[in-house]
């Protein structure tokens, strides 16, 4: 991600400030937390969530208020905390082309660093001037936890498409919806605009996560910045795999579901998935949610931020990392 990416331009000053603030989150804290913060925010991620907060706020009259950047920081911290914990759960060793916190410092430090980040996020949210936005942040964290718990405690069987969509709505789309809706609320946008941006965020999030799940099967490690094939290796069935099994049948389905596979087994099964139409069908499904997100945008006032939101929607679903 570069500072010149089109959809960032309108809010680049706030994003630059936010990146500085994120690098500073560990200041004055325990040196190990300061080190994990430096590691995590030394090379910022795509900053999609803060960008959505800042753009969505522009649909309300109070978009210049400093509290908007506080919300953007809070939600990016929730996201980062959830990734730190998710990498422990997944046993992932690499993210954004660098070692995960658990790989570098161990699971114990990673748990506490995630907790610390989450507390920092909530400290920012707690002093926002609207209780309904504070409540939205809390509800979103419940949704993330519910989605993650569904993922790790589900029965070992092939999920239906509906079950898959429910899970990704909780673990991913809820946070995108909160970014858009919360920002509009905080900026005193009309209730109709708040609801529209919430719906945009949900459809954006569904498209984003399906694209993410396609990349896990069809990307390459270096471009993606993390190990490809992890969902399959862990027996975590995603939409392209669910579709692939329509062609591969239940015997292969049982092999997909095995929780710990050898790298040879994962490689063989990846080849099987890639031979089916599962990946293309999942891309089409991501395209469907992208179209819904774009259609919702059309009902917003015609202003440059609306075009930027459309652009970020294309970026999120066509990205290679």
> Given the rule CB under 6 A, which residues bind ligand FPP?
78, 81-82, 85-86, 90, 114, 118, 141, 144-145, 148, 171-172, 212, 216
What's the rounded Cα separation, in Å, for the pair 252 and 164?
A: 19
- The contact mask relative to Mg ion for 1-40 (x = CB under 5 A, - = no) is ----------------------------------------
- Of 224 and 300, nearer to Mg ion (C-beta) is 224
Binding at 145: pick from ligand FPP, Mg ion, none (beta carbon under 5-8 Å per type): ligand FPP
Q: Does 151 bind Mg ion (CB under 5 A)?
A: no
Find all residues with CB under 8 Å of 143, minimum gap 6, and list them. 170, 171, 174, 175
Looking at residues 52 to 71 of the shown chain, list those that interact with Mg ion (rule: CB under 5 A): none
Rounded to 5 degrees, what angle do the CA atoms 230, 234, 235 make? 115
What's the rounded Cα separation, in Å, for the pair 313 and 310?
A: 5
φ, ψ at 183 (rounded to 5°): -65, -45
- Of 130 and 227, nearer to Mg ion (C-beta) is 227
Residue from 70, 90, 169, 213 touching Mg ion (CB under 5 A): that is 90
95 in Cβ contact with 225 (< 8 Å): yes
Minimal distance, residue 305 CB to ligand FPP, in Å: 25
Residue that has been written with the tokens 């046993």 in this structure: 91
- Of 202 and 209, nearer to Mg ion (C-beta) is 209
Minimal distance, residue 164 CB to ligand FPP, in Å: 11
Minimal distance, residue 226 CB to Mg ion, in Å: 8
Give bridge partners of residue 94 from the DSSP assignment: 99
Minimal distance, residue 87 CB to Mg ion, in Å: 6
- Of 18 and 224, nearer to Mg ion (C-beta) is 224
In total, the chain counts a number of residues equal to: 321
133 in Cβ contact with 127 (< 8 Å): no
Minimal distance, residue 89 CB to ligand FPP, in Å: 6
Binding at 172: pick from Mg ion, ligand FPP, none (beta carbon under 5-8 Å per type): ligand FPP
What's the rounded Cα separation, in Å, for the pair 3 and 50?
A: 14
Q: Residue 228 carries which DSSP code?
A: T
- Of 73 and 90, nearer to Mg ion (C-beta) is 90
Binding at 281: pick from Mg ion, ligand FPP, none (beta carbon under 5-8 Å per type): none
What's the rounded Cα separation, in Å, for the pair 289 and 141?
A: 23
Minimal distance, residue 58 CB to ligand FPP, in Å: 26
Residue that has been written with the tokens 């694209």 in this structure: 211
What the block records as the tokens of 108 is: 């114990």
- Of 122 and 195, nearer to ligand FPP (C-beta) is 122
Give bridge partners of residue 95 from the DSSP assignment: 98
- Collapsing DSSP to helix, strand or coil, 243 comes out as helix
Looking at residues 68 to 87 of the shown chain, list those that interact with Mg ion (rule: CB under 5 A): 86
Interacting residues with Mg ion (CB under 5 A): 86, 90
């Amino acid at each position: 991600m570069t500072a010149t990416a089109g959809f960032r331009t309108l809010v680049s000053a706030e994003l630059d400030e936010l990146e500085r603030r994120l690098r500073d989150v560990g200041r004055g804290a325990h040196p190990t937390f300061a080190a994990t913060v430096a590691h995590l925010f030394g090379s910022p991620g795509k900053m999609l969530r803060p960008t959505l907060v800042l753009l969505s706020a522009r649909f309300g009259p109070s978009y210049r208020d400093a509290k908007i950047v506080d919300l953007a920081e809070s939600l990016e911290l929730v996201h980062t905390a959830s990734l730190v914990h998710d990498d422990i759960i997944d046993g992932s060793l690499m993210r954004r082309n660098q070692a995960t916190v658990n790989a570098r410092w161990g699971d114990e430090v990673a748990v506490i660093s995630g907790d610390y980040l989450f507390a920092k996020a909530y400290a920012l949210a707690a002093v926002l001037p609207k209780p309904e936005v504070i409540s939205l942040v809390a509800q979103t964290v419940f949704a993330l936890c519910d989605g993650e718990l569904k993922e790790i405690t589900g029965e070992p069987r092939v999920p239906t498409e509906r079950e898959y969509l429910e899970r990704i709505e909780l673990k991913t789309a809820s946070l995108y919806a909160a970014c858009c809706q919360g920002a509009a609320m905080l900026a005193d946008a009309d209730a109709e605009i708040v609801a529209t941006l919430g719906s945009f965020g949900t459809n954006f999030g569904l498209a984003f996560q399906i694209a993410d799940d396609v990349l896990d099967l069809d990307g390459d490690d270096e471009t993606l910045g993390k190990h490809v094939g992890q969902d399959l290796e862990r027996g975590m069935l995603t939409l392209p795999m669910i579709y692939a099994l329509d062609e591969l049948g239940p015997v292969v389905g049982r092999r997909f579901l095995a929780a710990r596979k050898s790298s040879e087994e994962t490689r063989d099964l990846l080849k099987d998935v890639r031979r089916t139409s599962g990946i293309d069908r999942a891309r089409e499904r991501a395209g469907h949610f992208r179209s819904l997100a774009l259609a919702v945008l059309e009902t917003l006032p015609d202003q440059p931020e609306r075009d930027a939101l459309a652009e970020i929607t294309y970026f999120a679903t066509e990205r290679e990392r």
